[in-house]
Amino acid sequence: MTDADRFDLNEFLPYRLNAAASRISRAFSERYREEFGISIPEWRVLVHLHHAGDVSVRDIEARVDMEKSKVSRAASRLETAGYITKGVNDTDRRLLVLRLTDKGEALVARLLPVAMEYQDEMRARLGPLAEGLEAGLSALLSDNA
Amino acid sequence: MTDADRFDLNEFLPYRLNAAASRISRAFSERYREEFGISIPEWRVLVHLHHAGDVSVRDIEARVDMEKSKVSRAASRLETAGYITKGVNDTDRRLLVLRLTDKGEALVARLLPVAMEYQDEMRARLGPLAEGLEAGLSALLSDNA
DNA sequence: TTGACTTTGTTGCATGTGCAATAAATGTTT
DNA sequence: AAACATTTATTGCACATGCAACAAAGTCAA
């Protein structure tokens, strides 16, 4: 009998990572959909706009781990909902200038405390293990791979 | 200026967890699709059948973090491909008995070494941080939440 | 046994996704 | 300038997904 014969999916690191992320994302997503009516892609765009100011679709794609088509569709939904505007960059007219509206800023002001609270709950649940988890995630997210 | 004004998505734990899992899963998925022609849901079913012997859709749903419809569809594709058979449980005819065929067993025998190698690569990349990451994942995956 | 309820697996439907193709703008080369 | 190549954002398409509805089988109470 080899190691492979004892292989247990629930001890397999890639599976465990994915299962944990799915659970967290699902709970987070439900909360945001119920309370604010937005999806995770939309949430990411809103938060990045708040953090970085006016940006293009390409900028978001690079910074927020989303395909450009996903960014584009999220931005369109946010524009329809009145949370952002789409302008044109005068020096390079291929580029969009995504900008939060006042309504969008107000939404982000309500979103962020909920996000911080959620993160705090996660860290509380993890206790002293939080530090190790975050260090591991940093290693996986670093670019040299 | 409050904490929220400095909010950076790339320091937000749920986002980081999800981004890391997405990267790993994508790489894993590409490798399995190219080399064996199967998806991650199919991979999970195969591996669980290998580990647990004959099981029903419900068993897989409970053990492998997949919706029953996802399990059902993965099982149908695997049956079409000749990797598993679907039988009926004689004592409860609502239940399926999913079973690996010889062809399926042969596939799993090829799959598992690749999976172990992939996990080893992850751990090598993480170095001494692997232990902390796994402990954190265990906390997030424990049921009491 | 009958009737109501539960469990199991499949499927229809609406939605989200990634990828490729595309159009428009810009950059580059001659 | 003209021709060609690259970049940016959108969209068509095929496919995967989650959820609800459903049928079939089983359970249970009267």
Q: How far is the CA of B90 from the C1' of C1 (A)?
A: 24
d(CA A45, CA B21): 20
Chain A residues within an 8 Å CB radius of B141: 16, 19-20, 23
Which residue pairs from B70-79 have beta carbons closer than 8 angstroms and sit at least 24 positions apart in sequence?
A: B70/B41, B71/B41, B71/B45, B73/B41, B74/B39, B74/B41, B74/B42, B74/B44, B74/B45, B75/B45, B77/B39, B77/B42, B78/B38, B78/B42, B78/B45, B78/B46, B78/B104
Verdict on whether the full-model pTM lies above 0.85 = yes
Give the amino acid at A105. E
Q: Does residue B69 approach strand D to less than 7 Å at its CB?
A: yes
Per-residue pLDDT of chain B (145 residues; tens, 9 = 90+): 455 678 999 999 999 999 999 999 999 999 999 999 999 999 999 999 999 999 999 999 999 999 999 999 999 999 999 999 999 999 999 999 999 999 999 999 999 999 999 999 999 999 999 999 999 999 999 865 4
Q: Which domains, from first to last, does chain B contain?
A: 3-121 (1.10.10.10)
| pLDDT at B20 (0 to 100) | 97
> Which residues of chain B make contact with A24, given a CB cutoff of 8 A?
14, 17-18, 140
**What are the tens digits of pLDDT across the range A92-116?**
999 999 999 999 999 999 999 999 9
**Residue ranges in chain A whose pLDDT is less than 50:** 1, 145
Q: Is the CB of B76 under 7 A from strand C?
A: yes
